[in-house]
């Protein structure tokens, strides 16, 4: 591929270029793109996914987002003449999803092979953008995937787990070998599919409060649930005085730790502050 010879990955931007054509095809295939669906290619890089998206039989309109000036110019040179291609040279974390999906209420498909250094921030962006997205196919390092898919009681169970499960149905697709990238990463990679929930997966009165309670609980995860919630009570209605009452209403042992609660537990706890 021409782009393999021309560009040196930026350490500053955490770049590892996907060079395996078969992997790129599998990622695009996992998105199951249908005719007329707009697609956002986040961290388009050398165009590994962009090329296959534009060649897809459903003929999607592709909006590629790339922060690197060198790569953006190359993407424009390679694909800019096409009527179904748009390039947004920007930091995805600073771009509102409505800029990428004009013409509400259209929902789009997101594919991303963005640098792993922004995985957490990118997932938060995807959560905020979820109402405008039908499905997401994303590649992350295996460590992040393990946290997303962790079960209560597991040491990898974290705020990220709760937030992702609250916003998405998560499906593991396939693993990607290190040789699929240049340079070879020192971590394992996995592709997942995220399907945004159209209604909360648990019975909550206030979704924002649900997230605030979970964040407070995990803010000091070595402490008991009661102490963590009281420490983060400034973000909760009623402050520290409401914590014991909410725990009692929810029927949750205040001596537990945040990683022991599942989504239903957090929903009852959040509702207990109401």
Task: Give the pLDDT score at 14.
Answer: 62
Residues 138-174: b if buried by 16+ CB within 10 A, e if exposed? bbbbeebbbbbbbeeeeebbbbbbbbbbbbbebeebe
- Reading the block at residue 228, the tokens are 């963590």
Q: Which residues pair with 195 in a beta bridge?
A: 169
27-61 confidence digits (pLDDT tens): 999 999 999 899 999 999 999 999 999 999 999 99
Regarding whether 155 and 214 lie in a shared domain, the answer is: no
Q: For residue 74, what are the contacts with CB-CB under 8 A and spacing of at least 6? A: 3, 6, 7, 46, 47
Residue 57 lies in a domain: yes
The interaxial angle of helices 159-167 and 119-129, nearest 10 deg, is: 30
Q: Which of 166, 196, 226 finishes a domain? A: 196
In angstroms, the first-to-last Cα distance of the chain is 58
Q: Which of 142, 166, 196 finishes a domain? A: 196
Regarding whether 267 and 167 lie in a shared domain, the answer is: no
Residue 258: which domain range? 207-272
Regarding whether 181 and 56 lie in a shared domain, the answer is: yes
Residue 19 lies in a domain: yes
Q: Domain containing 233 — which CATH number?
A: 1.10.8.100
Task: Give the pLDDT score at 231.
Answer: 93
The segments of the chain whose pLDDT lies below 70 read 1-7, 9-10, 12-15, 104-105
CA distance linking residue 110 with residue 41, whole number of Å = 6
Q: For residue 5, what are the contacts with CB-CB under 8 A and spacing of at least 6? A: none
Q: What DSSP string runs through 238-260?
A: TTTHHHHHHHHHHT--TTS-GGG
Regarding whether 151 and 17 lie in a shared domain, the answer is: yes
Regarding whether 191 and 113 lie in a shared domain, the answer is: yes
Residue 235's φ and ψ, nearest 5 degrees, are -90, 0
Q: Which of 208, 225, 218, 227 is nearest to 267 (CA)?
A: 208
Residue 111 lies in a domain: yes
Task: Give the pLDDT score at 2.
Answer: 44
CA distance linking residue 216 with residue 14, whole number of Å = 31
Regarding whether 239 and 148 lie in a shared domain, the answer is: no
Regarding whether 162 and 76 lie in a shared domain, the answer is: yes
What is residue 220's three-state secondary structure?
A: coil
Regarding whether 191 and 68 lie in a shared domain, the answer is: yes
pTM of the model: 0.92
């Amino acid at each position: 591929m021409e782009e393999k010879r021309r560009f040196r990955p930026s350490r500053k931007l955490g770049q590892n270029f996907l060079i395996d054509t078969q992997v790129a095809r599998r990622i695009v295939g996992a998105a199951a793109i249908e005719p007329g669906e707009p697609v956002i290619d986040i961290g388009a890089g050398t165009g590994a996914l962009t090329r296959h998206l534009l060649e897809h039989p459903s003929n999607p309109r592709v909006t590629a987002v790339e922060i690197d000036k060198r790569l953006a110019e190359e993407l424009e040179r390679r694909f800019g003449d096409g009527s179904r291609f748009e390039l947004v040279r920007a930091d995805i974390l600073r771009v509102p999803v409505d800029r990428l999906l004009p013409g509400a209420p259209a929902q789009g498909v997101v594919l991303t092979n963005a640098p792993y250094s922004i995985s957490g921030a990118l997932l938060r962006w995807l959560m905020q953008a979820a109402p405008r997205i039908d499905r997401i196919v994303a590649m992350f390092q295996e460590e992040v995937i393990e946290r997303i898919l962790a079960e209560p009681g597991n040491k990898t169970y974290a705020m990220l787990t709760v937030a992702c499960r609250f916003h998405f149905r998560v499906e593991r697709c396939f693993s990607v070998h290190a040789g699929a990238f240049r340079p070879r990463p020192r971590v394992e990679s996995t592709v997942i599919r995220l399907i945004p929930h159209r209604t909360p997966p648990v019975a909550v009165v206030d979704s924002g409060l649900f997230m605030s309670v979970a964040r407070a609980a995990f803010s000091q995860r070595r402490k008991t649930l009661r102490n963590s919630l009281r420490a983060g009570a400034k973000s909760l209605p009623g402050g520290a005085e409401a914590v014991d009452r909410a725990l009692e209403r929810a029927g949750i042992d205040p001596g537990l730790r945040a990683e022991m609660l599942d989504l239903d537990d957090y929903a009852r706890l959040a509702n207990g502050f109401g």
